[in-house]
């Protein structure tokens, strides 16, 4: 697990070609799930709206891991 909070929060200026264009403060953590066949990383972001806090999952990525030959053969 890794996080993006804890220090004094400040907005980040984004380049025009940056795919993430939000200027909001981004409190979040990344959950990393690992098993024999895949690695999944999910961003959990704290969204503050109308005085209420809600955890969202705005992004994730899954990376498939090919099985090793010995493991596939049951060795």
Using one digit for the tens of pLDDT, what is the confidence trace for 13-47? 778 888 777 767 778 889 999 998 899 999 998 88
Q: Which residues of 10-23 are buried (b: 16+ CB within 10 A; e: fewer)?
A: eeeeeeeeeeeeee
When pLDDT is cut at 50, 70 and 90, the band that residue 55 belongs to is: very high
Give the β-pairing of 2-3 and 38-49.
Answer: unpaired
């Amino acid at each position: 697990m890794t996080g993006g909070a804890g220090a004094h929060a400040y907005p980040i200026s984004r380049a025009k070609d940056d795919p993430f264009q939000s200027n909001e403060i981004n409190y979040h953590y990344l959950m990393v799930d690992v098993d024999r066949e895949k690695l999944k990383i999910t961003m959990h972001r704290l969204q503050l709206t109308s005085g209420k806090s809600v955890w969202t999952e705005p992004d994730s990525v899954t990376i498939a891991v090919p099985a090793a030959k010995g493991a596939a053969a049951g060795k």
